[in-house]
Amino acid sequence: MSVRQSLLAILDQGPCYGYQLRAEFDRRTGSTWPLNVGQIYNTLDRLERDGLVEKDDVDEHGHVYWQITDAGRDEVRSWLDSPVERGQGTRDELAIKLAVAATLPGVEVGEIIQTQRRASVAKLQELQRAKYDGDGAGGAAGTTVGPEELAWSLVVDSMIFAAEAEVRWLDHSEERLAMHPDHAMALSLSTEKPKRGRPTKAEASHSARTAL
């Protein structure tokens, strides 16, 4: 999630000071991604260095306002007009954990999956309660909600869909691993000395295929 572009997009509406930017970000995301003020000002300093924002007036309370530059507006337009690029690899901790655990002898991966499923289902239920627990954001079809409630609902919907997908993936992984009794995927340490540098794509693809 790009804090940088999000803050720029808010500044595109008008000058803000640091605490105001944090409050405006929270309004639009339902505080689902809390930012501290230090993070706000560090981001503003980098944006100023890159010529995307500049300091504006100081009010009677000592608040320093920041305003967007023309280059900053161009960056906002580019961000909004471009799709979010997902990385080719995965840094998902759960996926890596299961992949490694499945190759370790003596590890009961099914128990790991069951433990994770309970936690994932509990998180999913918590998100569903948050959405439908009388806040109006997740009301019946056709119900009119305010912009803050709608924005919050969009973020929570994304988290709910991700949690549902995680539970389905855990079920799928359990079925896949059941096809390999007695931990047939277990790998002992290789006796081959690795080459320096990262493996080529072809080598990585071959290793992945031979492990299945």
Give all domains of the chain, ordered by start, each with its CATH number: 3-81 (1.10.10.10), 93-188 (no CATH)
Please tell me the predicted confidence (pLDDT) of residue 188: 75
Phi then psi dihedrals of residue 65, to 5 deg: -85, 145
Could you read off the pLDDT tens digit of each residue along the chain, which spans 212 residues?
A: 488 999 999 999 999 999 999 999 988 887 777 888 999 999 999 999 999 999 999 999 999 999 999 999 999 999 999 888 777 666 788 998 888 888 887 888 899 999 999 999 999 999 998 887 645 544 444 556 788 888 888 888 999 999 999 999 999 999 988 887 655 667 777 788 777 766 555 555 555 554 44
The 3 state secondary structure assigned to the chain is CCHHHHHHHHHCCCCECHHHHHHHHHHHHCCCCCCCHHHHHHHHHHHHHCCCEEEEEECCCCCEEEEECHHHHHHHHHHHHCCCCCCCCCCCHHHHHHHHHCCCCCCCHHHHHHHHHHHHHHHHHHHHHHHHCCCCCCCCCCCCCCHHHHHHHHHHHHHHHHHHHHHHHHHHHHHHHHCCHHHCCCCCCCCCCCCCCCCCHHHHHHHHHHHC
pTM of the predicted model, to two decimals? 0.69
Please tell me the predicted confidence (pLDDT) of residue 202: 55
